[in-house]
Structure formats: structure tokens, C-alpha cells
Chains A and B, each alone.
Chain A
Amino acid sequence: MKKVYATASEALEGLLHDGMFIAAGGFGLCGIPELLIAAIRDAGTKDLTIASNNCGVDDFGLGILLQTRQIRKMISSYVGENAEFMRQYLSGELELEFNPQGTLAERMRAGGSGIPGFYTKTGVGTVIAEGKEVKTFDGQDYILERGIVADLSIVKAWKADDTGNLVFRKTARNFNPPAAMCGRVCVAEVEEIVPRGSLDPDHIHLPGIYVHRIVQGQHEKRIEQRTVRKKETA
């Protein structure tokens, strides 16, 4: 069982095909699999459906796959920071399915956990409920949402051991664990691969059973909105 690959492109070899469905981790530009996204751009895989909370910005993250017209459809909760996204969406080139953020996360978690659907009160009485089964439990209405199973998951973690156990850092965890869970195959890019035995088994955030391939690399980790406060002078 060899999970470690030398480059992002090698880690994706044999996994990409036109028209495929990819689940990607990340929130905004935080904790996004930036190396794997670049490798998919280089591979030129087309007609992608991508489930990801956001779609990057114009020149970083999933936004670079919009520039090359590789994405056919996005499943997201918020896509506000991307002018090219809006241009393609309004011109009809790009399909968009809005999911409430928690519903999207749960769809991934459920799909990866063998749960084909679940009922939630999120979106009841809104456009999100249109065409969905409504069921009443204890006097309250819920809508049926489907679990997601993707052809491929691409995620970013802080550290991995060579068996694929992952540790994330701060809010860069976000959608990465549920996205990893819902893929038939999951490729993780990390900042550091450490030898097995060096991570505390009690502190693993995502067990290696969900992670099939790993690649280590240098990350730009761009900040979307730099907000600071002034140091008070004594």
C-alpha cells in the first residue's frame, strides 16, 4: 500500500476523466487543495461538476478552472467573490446549484457514510425546497436532501503520515473532512508528510481509510480579506 506520490499530477494519474464529479475541500481560499486544482488545470479535464462551498477568486483556487472553461457545473453555497464566475453563469455557460452551507456539508458527510438521504428543516418554505419531498416529524416540516458520492475528492490538510492519517490546522479544516469522505477516491495534499507513528493516534482528525493518495508540496495560502487591529501603545 503506497499512498505517497511525488507531485500533484502524479497523484491524480488515472483518476481524471471528462464529465466527472469532484468534491473539493476549503472555505473561501482557506484550506483549499491549491496544488491539485492546478494539476487538474494542467491535465485539461473538461465538463467537470464540482461540489465546493465556494469557487475561489478569479486567479486562485477553483477560479483558475473557470478561466480555462473546465467547469460545467458548480454545487456551492456562496460564489460572491468571482467576477468570471458571474460572467459565465449569466451567459449560460456555467450551471449553478445553490445548496445551503450546512446542507452541502451534510450531503458530503452522509454520502461518505452510506446515507443516501436525510431530512433537514434548513430551507423549508424557500426555493431550496422546490421539488423535494417534505415530511413532518413531531409537528415540524423537513425536506429530503440527498447524500453526495463523488468520483474524486481533493482536499488539503496540514500533516499526513504515510498511511494517510490527516491532521488539519485551525479553520483550514472546514469542508475538507466531509469532502474527503464522500469521494470514491480521495487525494490529499499536505504541507508535511511525517513517518507513521509520529502522529498521536488520539489526535488524528481524519483516519487514513478515507485517503487514498497523498502529495506534499509548497502552498501559497493566499489571504482573501486581511483584517488587522492596531497595537495599543502603552
Chain B
Amino acid sequence: MAWDRNQMAARAAQELEDGMYVNLGIGIPTLVANYVGDKDITLQSENGMLGMGPFPFEGEEDPDLINAGKQTITELDRTAYFDSATSFGMIRGGKIAAAILGAMEVAENGDLANWMIPGKLVKGMGGAMDLVAGVGRVIVVMDHTNKAGESKVLRECTLPLTGKGVVDRIITNLGVLDVVKGGLRIVETAEGVTEDELRAATEATIVS
């Protein structure tokens, strides 16, 4: 047993505290918004918006109102709009408390790779490099292993980096790990997963 996508998102939502300004990446991180409960969280969309609302009702889509994934969205009573330079000013300036994003590989020193596989189609890094370099806390949510069953939690990343030493916490289907001095520390294991199973699925050094 391990966490599914929604359980991973729910676990990631526990990282968020009342009053935080947060940027959520595409994929499982987007689901985190469904689990914030009563906490007062403001979502940033890096194309120029604070206070991102849910998808619009059918027929109410506005081509002038999209998120960073280019999806139609809505505004809230707290919403503010701004240009891209201002948007990344608040990201680079450390005003965004946390970013929750997916990854292809994470290393024990906090290195993150999530934008490019050499030899495959390269789409670009978008705002990922700015986010991981700038925000207060970087939380990665991803499957612990790839489709071939190999660990994505590594001693060193093999893919081109998005950021060097930027990751604070890793939440996978098997558990939660923190980047600490000398390697990764197990914070908790997913329901039905033993610490031994988590260690066995992890290539990175685990310190106690």
C-alpha cells in the first residue's frame, strides 16, 4: 500500500499554513488546492495573478483570465493582477512562502531536475527555475520511482538541473523526506509502507 495522487496532495496540503501565499505546479500539485480546508491560502499564478479561483462554469470562460498552465480560471474577492516582471519580482524576492511542484529527479543535496530530458523534446523551463530559486520553501510531490521501478530520489541527479540545492521536502507515494545535512531524513512513511520499504526504494543516502 502507498498513497495515491489525492492522498499525496492531501499530505502536501498539510505543509501549508494560514495566511500563506503559495504557488502550485501542474499535475498532482494542482490537486493540493482541494485539501487546504479552512486555511486562508492565497494561490499565485506566475502569469500575473494572486488569488486564483476555481475553473469557471461552462459558458463563463474568459480568454483574458488563465493560469500558468493556460487553463481558464476565475478570480476571487481578494484577486490582484500584475505584469510578469512584478510577478517574478515577488517570486525572486522571496515573498511567496512555498512552491509545491512535481519532479523527474531529486537528489540528496536538494538538487532538482524537472524540465528537460536530453534527446527528447525540450519544451522549456517556463517559470520553474525562478520559482525554485526564489520562494521560501520548495516542496516536491512526485512518485518515488519511475515507470521502470527505478528510484527518482537519487544521490545525484542525472538530468539537467532546474535548481541546485533548492528542495526542502519531498512527498512521494511512499512517504515524506527532508533534505538535511548529509542526505535525506525520513519524516514519515505512507500508510502501509514500512521504513525498510521506503529505504529500499530510495537510492539517496538516508540519515537518521
Contacts and interface: CB of A to CB of B under 8 A. Distances in A.
Nearest to B164: A125
A158 B60 CA distance: 19
B189 interface: no
Contacts of B69: 225
Counting chain B residues whose Cβ lies within 8 A of the other chain, the interface size class is 35 or more
Contacts of A208: none
A226 B72 contact: yes
A194 interface: no
Contacts of B125: 77-78, 98, 100-101, 128
B31 interface: no
Interface stretch (B2-10, B47-55, B175-183): B47-55
A212 interface: no
Contact of A28 (B55, B70, B75): B70
B200 interface: no
**Dominant secondary structure at the B interface:** loop
Interface residues of A, number: 55
Interface string B10-34: 0000000000000000000000000
B188 to A, nearest CB: 30
Contacts of A30: 47, 63-64, 66, 70
A81 to B, nearest CB: 8
Interface stretch (B127-135, B137-145, B148-156, B190-198): B127-135
- Chain A binding surface, main DSSP class: loop
Interface string B69-106: 11111010000011111011101100000000000000
A103 B124 CA distance: 13
A101 B47 CA distance: 9
A173 B66 contact: no
Interface string B38-56: 0000000111110000111
Interface stretch (A36-44, A63-71, A174-182, A195-203): A174-182
A169 B111 CA distance: 38
A177 B85 contact: yes
Contact of A125 (B56, B60, B165): B165
Kindly name the residue among B111, B126, B162 whose own CB sees the greatest number of chain A CB atoms within 10 A. Answer: B126
Contact of B63 (A53, A77, A124, A221): A221
A126 B111 CA distance: 10
Interface of B: 45-49, 54-58, 60-67, 69-73, 75, 81-85, 87-89, 91-92, 111, 121-130, 133-134, 160-165
26 contacts: A27-B84, A28-B66, A29-B63, A30-B63, A77-B127, A79-B123, A81-B70, A98-B124, A102-B46, A106-B85, A106-B92, A120-B133, A122-B130, A123-B129, A126-B163, A126-B164, A170-B65, A172-B65, A173-B82, A175-B84, A178-B83, A223-B72, A224-B66, A227-B56, A229-B57, A231-B57
